[in-house]
Amino acid sequence: MSWTARLLTLFPEMFPGPLGHSLAGRALARGQWTLEAIDIRDHATGRHRSVDDAPFGGGAGMVMRPDVIDAAAEAAALSGAPLIVLTPRGRPLTQARVASLAAGPGVVLLCGRYEGIDQRVIEARSMEELSIGDYVLSGGEPAAMVLLDAVVRLLPGVMGAEESGEEESFSSGLLEYPHYTRPALWKGRAVPEVLLGGNHAAIAEWRQAEAERITRERRPDLWAAWQALADAAPTA
C-alpha cells in the first residue's frame, strides 16, 4: 500500500496543485503515494451547509465549527496516521518530524480557514498542531503543500540518489554547505580551489567547515543545539 495523504479542506480543487509536478508529481503518477482531498463542507448539515460561526466572547472573523470538523475527521481517519492541523501557533515543522512522517503509513491534514478551529475538536481528536513558520497565511492549504512536498521526497525510491537526502540542510543539524558547478570562473568569481583538486577528504572537511560557518552565522539557535549534541556525544 502506498503512502497516503488525506486533506480536509474547503478548497479541494487546490490539490494536487504544485504537488502534481516535478518530484512529487512523478511519484504520485507512479503510485508511490496517494492524495485524497476531502471537502469539509460535505460533512456540514442544514440547508446552508454552514462550516463556521461567530466566536463566543466576540471578536473579528468566524470560527470553524467543531461538529463539522469532527464529522470530516471521522470520515478521513487513516489507521496509524496522525491527524495534523496546520496553524501558526503549532510547534515548528522540522526535518526530523518530516522524516518520521515519511516512515509511517501516511497523514491526515486539516487545513483551517477563517480565524481558526474550535479548540474543543482539536483536543477531542488529539490533533497535532504544526507550523511551517512565524507568519500567517490565508489558510492551511499552502502549509499542507509544504509539508507534503517535504515528506514525499523522502519516501523510498522517490529521489534518484538516496544520498542526496542525507547531506541537506537540517539532516545533520546544520545548514547545508554551498554548491558550485561550471563554469569554474563566472563574472570574476572562482569556484573554491579545494573543490577542483579531487581530494575527497579535503572536500569533505571544507564542506563541514562551511556548514558550521553558515549555521553559526545565520541560525545561532541551530548552532547552539548542534554544539550541545556534539558536547554530549561520547568520545572514543
Q: 90 CB contacts (<8 Å, ≥6 apart)?
A: 128, 129, 130, 131
pLDDT tens digits for 18-28? 999 999 999 99
Q: Please state which CATH class domain 3-152 belongs to.
A: alpha beta
pLDDT, tens digit (0-9, with 9 covering 90-100), for 90-146: 999 999 999 999 999 999 999 999 999 999 999 999 999 999 999 999 999 999 999
Q: What is the pLDDT of residue 163?
A: 44
Q: Per-residue pLDDT for 42 more than 90?
A: yes
Level-2 CATH architecture, domain 168-232: Orthogonal Bundle (1.10)
What nine digits make up the cell of 136? 500567517
Calculate mean pLDDT across residues 44-55: 91
Per-residue model confidence (pLDDT) at position 233: 78
pLDDT at 170: 77
pLDDT score for 234: 79
Residue with cell 460561526: 53
For 152-210, what is each residue's pLDDT tens digit? 999 999 997 654 656 666 778 899 999 999 999 999 999 999 999 999 999 999 999 99
Domain boundaries, the chain: 3-152, 168-232
Alpha helices in the chain (DSSP H): 22-30, 66-76, 95-102, 119-124, 141-152, 200-218, 220-232
Non-local (6+) Cβ contacts of 93 within 8 A are 130, 131, 132, 146, 147, 150
| Higher pLDDT pick, 47 / 119 | 119
